[in-house]
Amino acid sequence: MDFDLTKEQQQLGDSIQRFVAREYAFEKRKGILRSEEGMSREVWAHLAEMGLLALQVPEEHGGMGGAPIETMLAMNGVGRGLLLEPYLASAVVATTLLRELGSPAQQGELFPAMAAGERIVVLAHDEPGARYDLTQVSTKATRAGDGYALSGQKSVVVHAPSADLLLVSARTGSGVSLFLVPWDAKGVSLAAYRTLDGRRAADVTLSEVRAGREALVGAEGAALDVIVSVNDVAIAAACAEAVGALEALLQTTVEYSKSRKQFGVPIGTFQALQHRMVEMLIHVEQAKSMSYLASLRSDEKDLQARARVMSAAKVIVGRACRNVGQEAVQIHGGMGMTEEFHASHYFRRLAALELSFGDTEHHLEKFALNSAEAT
């Protein structure tokens, strides 16, 4: 039992943190945030150069084939730097789906381009009203000629406006299948907007979108289990991102409390605030522990055991996001409310992470149910 990183992992972690500190300073990020695309292609290319887009790429395609700890370190950095690029969506979720389900041809075509930062792929799965139920898929893919015709609605597909390809889930008979759909395919329309945390997202409408057989990812009707399973990988990554953001926000808050004066003394000398910052710290440390566990168990084969870990992690991390986010804004006072200052950006990202991949209540319930079944 040890919590130590290998030397290589340590170096990777350091280089990510260095990159974030140097290339993703808050002022630079503001520019990216305000830009039309809401992400930086230059940063994306840089992440590719560092090899970070290949962590989920199979080794035979030059990647690391999963690498839970490395992914955790990358996500810590993404969280600390509040990166706006689709790392979680494309380099983690979509890449893992393609690793699990993609044909050799699909992998051969996509992985080099994705690892090089030249192609962005995003899963379009959630539908209006599905809430956190991954099994609720109403989009249909019916046989049409040699391939399929896809029709349906996908909601809040984060980063869809930047994606080259969408991985669209759709019902085929009794099962769910995945299809690679180019963003500009006929019949695809995106209603784009910003998310709470400033990312670009879209509701995607598919009207009789033609997809050839080569667009089918995995066997027909066999995608749902994998989507559910990759959701666990996403949770582990999201927890690691949250931990990066939580640590940064706590640090920011403590520093602010040391410099900001009221009644002639730094507000950090007020015991009531001190004790609340200690509570924040406890939340962060507990979140960190569960993030370790989630990452280490993200390739666990016992799916029920894994689901328990992920739900537990999401509950602890979710509560931490809520507590630390709200307290940080409160302690920053008016400054915490502004777009100008970084605290509110962390606050929003943490709130968004809590709402992603199942919120705290959802996972608490799931854990309780899972426990009852286990006993």
Q: Residue 111 or 367: which CB sits closer to another protein?
A: 367
Q: Which does 116 bind (CB under 5 to 8 A by kind): another protein, its own copies, none?
A: none
Q: Which does 194 bind (CB under 5 to 8 A by kind): its own copies, another protein, none?
A: another protein
Q: Which does 262 bind (CB under 5 to 8 A by kind): another protein, its own copies, none?
A: another protein
Q: Which does 257 bind (CB under 5 to 8 A by kind): another protein, its own copies, none?
A: another protein
- Which residues lie near its own copies (CB under 8 A)? 270-272, 274-275
Q: Are 319 and 304 in contact (CB under 8 A)?
A: no
Q: Beta strand pairing status for 140-144 and 147-158?
A: antiparallel
Min CB(121)–its own copies separation in Å: 44
Q: Residue 1 or 265: which CB sits closer to its own copies?
A: 265
**What does the alpha-carbon distance between residue 154 and residue 101 come to, in Å, rounded to a whole number?**
21
Total Cβ atoms within 10 A of residue 220: 16
Q: Which does 213 bind (CB under 5 to 8 A by kind): another protein, its own copies, none?
A: none
Min CB(110)–another protein separation in Å: 26
Q: Which does 158 bind (CB under 5 to 8 A by kind): its own copies, another protein, none?
A: another protein
**What does the alpha-carbon distance between residue 74 and residue 56 come to, in Å, rounded to a whole number?**
12
Q: Residue 134 or 217: which CB sits closer to another protein?
A: 134
**What does the alpha-carbon distance between residue 373 and residue 239 come to, in Å, rounded to a whole number?**
25
Min CB(116)–another protein separation in Å: 29
Q: Residue 132 or 270: which CB sits closer to its own copies?
A: 270
Min CB(311)–another protein separation in Å: 8
The number of residues in the chain equals 375
The tokens of 49 are what? 């150069």
Q: Using alpha carbons, list the distances in angstroms from residue 313 to 6, 353, 355.
A: 24, 13, 14
Total Cβ atoms within 10 A of residue 311: 25
The tokens of 59 are what? 């080794």
Q: Residue 103 or 153: which CB sits closer to another protein?
A: 153
State the first-to-last Cα distance of the chain, in angstroms, to the nearest integer. 27
Min CB(228)–another protein separation in Å: 16
Min CB(179)–its own copies separation in Å: 41
Q: Which does 337 bind (CB under 5 to 8 A by kind): another protein, its own copies, none?
A: another protein
Q: Residue 174 or 259: which CB sits closer to another protein?
A: 259
H or E element that contains 94: none
Q: Residue 306 or 348: which CB sits closer to another protein?
A: 348
H or E element that contains 333: none
Min CB(329)–its own copies separation in Å: 18
**What does the alpha-carbon distance between residue 167 and residue 215 come to, in Å, rounded to a whole number?**
9
**What does the alpha-carbon distance between residue 57 and residue 163 come to, in Å, rounded to a whole number?**
18
**What does the alpha-carbon distance between residue 217 and residue 336 come to, in Å, rounded to a whole number?**
45
